[in-house]
Each structure stands twice: as C-alpha cells, then as structure tokens.
A and B are shown apart, each in its own frame.
Chain A
Amino acid sequence: MKSLDELDKLREKLQAEMRIREGQPDTRVTVAMGTCGIAAGAREVVTALLEEMKKRNVKGVTITQTGCAGLCHYEPLVEVEVPGGERVTYVHVDGDKAREIVLEHLVNGQIIKEWTILKK
C-alpha cells in the first residue's frame, strides 16, 4: 500500500462484492429457482449472470432467487429491478441471453424488450 489513493481503489473494487450485505436498494436481479426453473436451466442462468457481471465489473447489483413464479412454461425467468425503475421480467432465459441482459440492461441501461413480458 503505497498511498491513500491505492487504498481507495482497492476499496472500491472490494466494495462491489460486499454490497450484498448492506441491505441497500441495489439493482436486484431475481432468478426464479422453483423446481420448474431449475428444470428449465435456471442454474446455468445464474452462473452466466455471475460470470458476466464479474467480467464487466458490474457494481451495485445483487442476485437473488425466488421460488416458482407461477409461470412455469416461461421458465427460466429473470427479473431485473432497478431502484426507482420498473420491474422487468425476462422469460426463457438461457446462458447467452443472461450475458446479453447483463451487458444491455445492467451496463447500458437498455431493456431488451423482445425477451420480456412487461408487468405493471
């Protein structure tokens, strides 16, 4: 540690990984992990999301999971909720789509409308 700046940089990098414990209103990505979701490949989606977020150094996003959303035929479902923004539900997500969601939605702020079912 050669300077305070260096410490600041390290802190910022590390904070991304610790935000999960803050209980702060982050952007929340929820993957439905009911039996249906898992059967449809939700696990692969989670892994892909995490890998892509890491690759792109995405901060302020927590990944959480939920049970069956009652839309079993649309599984795997991924819900993205930006604080203050609308809740967007992507359907039939797979690994590639998950990576795309990270890039477009989380990084660039663009909703990929064609993969969503829009909710209120």
Chain B
Amino acid sequence: MELYRSHVLVCAGAGCISSDCQAVKKSLLDSINRLKLDKEVKVVETGCMGPCDQGPVMVVYPEGVFYRRLKPADAVEIAEEHLLKGRVVKHLIYQTPETGSAALTFEQIDFFNKQTRIALRNTGIINPESVEEYIARNGYQALGRVLSKMTPEEVIDLVKKSGLRGRGGAGFPTGLKWEFSARAQGKPKYVVCNADEGDPGAFMDRSILEGDPHSVLEAMAICGYATGAGQGYVYVRAEYPLAVQRLNLAIRKAREYGLLGENIFGTGFGFDVEIRVGAGAFVCGEETALLASIEGRRGEPRPKPPFPAQGGLWGKPTVINNVETWANIPPIILNGADWFAGIGTEKSKGTKVFALAGKVNNTGLVEVPMGTTLREIIFDIGGGIPNGKKFKAAQTGGPSGGCIPAKHLDVPVDYESLTELGAIMGSGGLIIMDEDTCMVDLARFFVEFVQDESCGKCSPCRIGTRRMLEILDRITKGRGRDGDIELLEELGRGIKAGALCGLGQTAPNPVLSTIRHFREEYEAHIYQHRCPAGVCKALTVYVIDEEKCTGCGRCAVVCPAGAVSGVKKQPHHIDPEKCLKCGTCMEKCKFQAIHTL
C-alpha cells in the first residue's frame, strides 16, 4: 500500500451500482488524473455503506465528508474543489430530512451515528478486494490469536459466553452449535457458511460478503479450529455474482498469505474454503436443504434430528452459520465475550443488521444493538415516514415473519420480544409500512412468495400455502366469505404444527400476525367489501369530491381509460364501469379532490 493524503471511498454496493456509481467513479478518476492528483488521492471501491437511497455515495477522508446522490459531473466538481482546493462542495452533502440542515460528515448524520457496527465494522470502509486493508483493521488477528494462544475448548467457551445467537432466523446459540459439532463422532467435519439470503428485500449477507469477505473466511477458519474441521463451504446464490467474485478473490488472497490452506501461522492447523453457488431457491436457506444442495441433490429439507452438528454434510458433523453470524466472530475473539455480552439485552446479545426498506425516509443497511426499539430504528435512524404519512406497521423476518403495529413501536427488538408479537427476528428484513398499506394484500404478497418457494416435499406447506393464497386472493377480490378468517387461522396453525421445515412452519406468520393485529381490515374486506387502505383494486372505487374539484380537467386528460368526464370549470365524474383503478387521476390531482371509497 502507498501513503496518500486523501482516500475517497466510493460505495460499490448493489444499490449504488444500480444508480451507476461506476460512471461517477470513472469521472472522479478521470478528473484526478487530469489534475495530477493520482499520487496524492486514492480512490477505493468499498462494499455497501448502508444509506442506499442516497446513492451513489462517496466519503472523502481524512475529513470524512459524505457526498451523496452523485452524478458524473458532481465527481468533477468534487475533484476540482474538494480534492484539489480543499473546499467542501456543500450542495452535494447530506441534509437531514426533518430540518433540512446539512450534515458534513458521517458523525453528524443520525443514520450513521446511532448505529453500532460490529458485523458491518469494515463494510463500506475498506476495499473488499484488498486483504491488506482487512489486515490493517485487525483482520486475521483473531484467527492468529486463537491458533497461537487458545485451545479449541477455550474458543467454544468464549463464543458460548458471548451469548452470540444465529443471525439467520431462529437464533440458536452459536457456541452451543459449535460444541455439538466438536463433540460429535465422525470425521471429517465441515464448516458451512449459509449465504443463501432469500428474504425479499434483505441484503445484509450480500453486503457483508461484498464489503468484507475476509471476516467470514476468518471466522470459518476459527470455527474449523474449534470444532476440528478442515474444510469449509460458502453456499452463495448465483444472483450474487459480485459476492461470488469477491469471495473468490478473498479466498485466493488468503491462500497467498497463508491465512487459508495448510499449516496456518505455522501451527500445523489447516483449513480451506470452497464456494458452492446455488440457484437461488429460497428453501435452500434452510440448512438441511442447503446441505443437500451442496451434496448435489435436490435442494429440499429433511426432518431434524439429526441436526447438522451431528449429521450434516455427507452425514458428517457440520457447523452451519449464516454470514452475519460469522462476521461477528472475529471481534468477539479480539474484544472478549464480556464486551459482546455487554451489548444488547439479557437474552439477545450484540447487534443486529437490518435491511430497512419500505415507507421510511432513510432506506438501507443499519446495524443496531439488540434491544433498540423499533421507534429508534424507524424514526431516529430511518428518519421517519415520508410525506407526513402515519406509520402503520413494521414487517420483520420477511416471509417467515410478521407485522408489528404502531402500538408496539416501543418494543425492544430482540428474539423473544418479536416472537411474542407473532413476528420473528429472521435474517433482518425490516419493511416499514404507512397508512396506505393494505394488510390483507401484504399477507397475500408473502403467502404468494412462500407458496412459490415451497420445495413441494411436505403436504402442509405444498398444498396448505396454496390454499391460504386462494383464500386471501378471494378476500382481496371482494369474494371473501364468512368463516374465511377462521379458516385461515386454522390453516395457519395447522401448517405451523405440521410442516416439515422452518420455511413451512413459519410460512403462515404473515397471515396470522396480520389477522392478530389488523383483524378489522380483514373483516372490512369480507363483510363490507371495502379495502380501508384503498389498495385492493377490486374493492376500490375512485370518486371525485365535488366540493374540492375545480374542474381543471387534468384527471380527464391523464385517465388512460377515458373514465373521467365533465365540463371545464365544473366538477368532474368518474365512471366506475370504465375505471381501471390505476390511481393516476388521484396522483395527478392538484386539489386532493379524488379519493377512494
């Protein structure tokens, strides 16, 4: 590495790639070369920094100035003004949503300064393609320390004491899992990283793999030492090509440095990692399905026990943890169990990464201590609900999770509290909904997802989720019947009790939790043929308020179906027969004269 007076970190997470950070980066590099700053300023591509809706973003060090929503021309300006002359380009920095006041640096932005970044400690800060940058930030220190100074039992004990629980969904204590595998008979043993992130909207695992791949490799090697495994596999979906590429590079670099392979740190311990690319089936995130897939069989779950720690890959003891869990391991080793256990709540230690999405001002990736309230995540970090709308519910845990209504905004987010409310921690999808969201429609969306992703092996999930979808479908179409809610509840309970794997056992959660917290919405759909949020098209009638209508005629112009009629300057009317319920008229009306019934 060379010494530079300035580092410019360009976020190359998927969100920023979509908003064309590559063009911004190219423009920046061109300008730097043109200004002959290339020996002084280093441009680093990093993994996801988190604030995805602000992309493309970059940070200029040493000042830590955060620029966002950049276009290639902005990069020219930043190079000429900031990099050359040291003048911050004010109009490109972040402004807080409520006050509109400008925040110069990371530290001044709530989105960042309310976070505690353990799993994401390097993501967005280092160049993920540089093992040197990882090492500079204490990378592989934990592995070195474990191999040189600790016994496998001590490592397991440390992880147990830290209280770390699996970040992939069910929250099983990680140290216990390691211990089971360490004690299990059978050789060879394996270590597997579950990177088959499949919840709609969730991307924490991808961001870690893309932004800090070595942290996962280091953790797997530590586990290998602790459990007696010499081979690891990372199972990652083919939809994550960048993660695959960076992992491959990371594995190669780690081998070059002797951090993977034979005789690591001269201790005689050997460990290597291979990548297995999956086809992206949601069910392959279920551990037994994932293992089947690695073995080259159809990716579907099998009944447990035996658990993977006893009989996993090829029937051998296998530790399988998800990406975020792995990323927590090196800091735990370095900072100690007490440090980690000091963060979070009594039963849920450490932090959790969430993919914040939906109707919230700051969408993106955030990491907060366990026990942080939903309110803090949504309003302090997330910047609240856009357009002055009311918060309605938060959906956690994706298709396996549930909805938490406004009255529970102050619930501390940990495994137990969420489960109590009928939701789950899950892998960290967090979707915020405002008053315009129909909860029946939302439940329908998730059930459609799981019934599509069901592997088809066990009958409750294969057929039950389809039947739930059919019932939800008819409710949203205005053909709901008396008894449908009860039938959904019965089906939901039955599928939870009867399905073979975690996917099926949690598939009814979105339905059951929305019935629990928003039963009146279901009833409105069924008994009054009304969608309170105005989402379900079949139940929505668009009308023009004669009082408010000025007769400007804009609605009639934009209506694709010619359903709006009226004389200029006179109140207009919508023909419900012709209306397609697209909502364009309502969107375009400047006088809020159009509403739904």
Contact B3 A64 (CB under 8 A): no
Contact B136 A23 (CB under 8 A): no
Known: A34-B85, A67-B85. 5 other contacts (CB 8 A): A7-B140, A14-B135, A17-B3, A20-B7, A23-B105
Stretch at the interface among A47-55, A80-88, A91-99, A107-115: A47-55
Contact A21 B125 (CB under 8 A): yes
Contacts of B145 in A (CB 8 A): 4
Contact A64 B140 (CB under 8 A): no
Closest 3 CB pairs of A and B: A63-B5, A14-B136, A65-B86
Contact A23 B107 (CB under 8 A): yes
Min Cβ gap B423→A in Å is 36
The answer to whether the Cβ of B57 comes within 8 Å of any Cβ in the partner chain is no
Contact B86 A2 (CB under 8 A): no
Contact B39 A47 (CB under 8 A): yes
List which A8-42 residues lie within 8 A (CB) of chain B.
Answer: 8, 10-11, 14-18, 20-21, 23, 26, 28, 30, 32-35, 38
Bound complex: CA A23 to CA B62 (Å): 6
Contact A20 B133 (CB under 8 A): no
- In this complex, the member of A1, A3, A47, A67 whose beta carbon has the largest number of chain B beta carbons within 10 angstroms is A1
Bound complex: CA A8 to CA B61 (Å): 25
- In this complex, the member of B9, B107, B258 whose beta carbon has the largest number of chain A beta carbons within 10 angstroms is B258
Contact B39 A50 (CB under 8 A): yes
The answer to whether the Cβ of A43 comes within 8 Å of any Cβ in the partner chain is yes
List which B122-178 residues lie within 8 A (CB) of chain A.
Answer: 125-126, 132-133, 135-141, 144-145, 147-148
Given A20-B7, A50-B40, A67:B87 Cβ within 8 A? yes
List which B230-269 residues lie within 8 A (CB) of chain A.
Answer: 257-259, 264-266
Cβ-neighbour of A65 out of B61, B85, B105, B258 (below 8 A):
B85
The answer to whether the Cβ of B6 comes within 8 Å of any Cβ in the partner chain is yes
Bound complex: CA A50 to CA B38 (Å): 12
Contacts of B1 in A (CB 8 A): 14, 17-18
Min Cβ gap B285→A in Å is 34
The answer to whether the Cβ of A46 comes within 8 Å of any Cβ in the partner chain is yes
Contacts of A2 in B (CB 8 A): 258, 265-266
Cβ-neighbour of A1 out of B4, B138, B258 (below 8 A):
B258
Contact A7 B5 (CB under 8 A): no
Min Cβ gap A41→B in Å is 13
Min Cβ gap A23→B in Å is 5
The answer to whether the Cβ of B36 comes within 8 Å of any Cβ in the partner chain is yes
Contacts of A10 in B (CB 8 A): 132, 135
Contacts of A21 in B (CB 8 A): 7, 9, 61-62, 125
The answer to whether the Cβ of A62 comes within 8 Å of any Cβ in the partner chain is yes
Q: From A54, which residue of chain B is reached at the shortest CB distance? A: B3
Min Cβ gap B266→A in Å is 5
Contact A38 B84 (CB under 8 A): yes
- In this complex, the member of A4, A32, A33, A38 whose beta carbon has the largest number of chain B beta carbons within 10 angstroms is A4
Contact A20 B132 (CB under 8 A): no
Sample 26 A-B pairs with CB under 8 A, ordered by A number: A1-B265, A3-B265, A4-B141, A4-B145, A4-B148, A4-B265, A7-B140, A8-B144, A11-B139, A14-B132, A18-B133, A20-B4, A20-B5, A20-B61, A23-B106, A28-B62, A33-B86, A34-B85, A38-B85, A47-B39, A62-B62, A63-B5, A64-B6, A65-B85, A65-B86, A67-B87
Bound complex: CA A2 to CA B7 (Å): 31
Min Cβ gap A98→B in Å is 12
The answer to whether the Cβ of B436 comes within 8 Å of any Cβ in the partner chain is no
Residues 81-112 of B, flagged 1 when their CB comes within 8 A of A and 0 if not, give 00011110000000000000000011100000
Contact A17 B2 (CB under 8 A): yes
Cβ-neighbour of A7 out of B36, B84, B86, B135 (below 8 A):
B135
Q: From A46, which residue of chain B is reached at the shortest CB distance? A: B40
Bound complex: CA A46 to CA B4 (Å): 10
Contact B136 A33 (CB under 8 A): no
Contacts of B148 in A (CB 8 A): 3-4
Contacts of B125 in A (CB 8 A): 21
Bound complex: CA A10 to CA B137 (Å): 11
Contacts of A17 in B (CB 8 A): 1-4, 136
Contacts of A66 in B (CB 8 A): 86
Contacts of A32 in B (CB 8 A): 86
Given A1-B259, A7-B144, A46-B40, A16:B85 Cβ within 8 A? no
Contact B5 A50 (CB under 8 A): yes
Bound complex: CA A1 to CA B134 (Å): 15
Given A7-B144, A17-B136, A66-B86, A1:B257 Cβ within 8 A? yes
Min Cβ gap B444→A in Å is 46
The answer to whether the Cβ of B63 comes within 8 Å of any Cβ in the partner chain is yes
Given A16-B3, A20-B4, A21-B9, A1:B264 Cβ within 8 A? yes
Bound complex: CA A21 to CA B134 (Å): 13
Contacts of A30 in B (CB 8 A): 86
Contacts of B64 in A (CB 8 A): 23
Bound complex: CA A68 to CA B133 (Å): 34
Min Cβ gap B38→A in Å is 11
Contacts of A35 in B (CB 8 A): 85
Bound complex: CA A66 to CA B125 (Å): 24
Bound complex: CA A47 to CA B3 (Å): 11
Contacts of A53 in B (CB 8 A): 3
Bound complex: CA A48 to CA B85 (Å): 17
Contacts of A16 in B (CB 8 A): 3
- In this complex, the member of B3, B36, B107 whose beta carbon has the largest number of chain A beta carbons within 10 angstroms is B3
Bound complex: CA A115 to CA B221 (Å): 55
Bound complex: CA A86 to CA B263 (Å): 50
Cβ-neighbour of B85 out of A15, A33, A62, A63 (below 8 A):
A33
Min Cβ gap A79→B in Å is 11
Cβ-neighbour of A18 out of B39, B106, B137, B257 (below 8 A):
B137
Contacts of A64 in B (CB 8 A): 5-6, 62-63, 86
Bound complex: CA A40 to CA B106 (Å): 33
Cβ-neighbour of B3 out of A8, A11, A23, A50 (below 8 A):
A50
List which B2-48 residues lie within 8 A (CB) of chain A.
Answer: 2-7, 9, 36, 39-40
Q: From B134, which residue of chain A is reached at the shortest CB distance? A: A14
Min Cβ gap B22→A in Å is 22
Contacts of A38 in B (CB 8 A): 84-85
Contacts of B135 in A (CB 8 A): 7, 10-11, 14
Contact A11 B259 (CB under 8 A): no
Bound complex: CA A80 to CA B117 (Å): 32
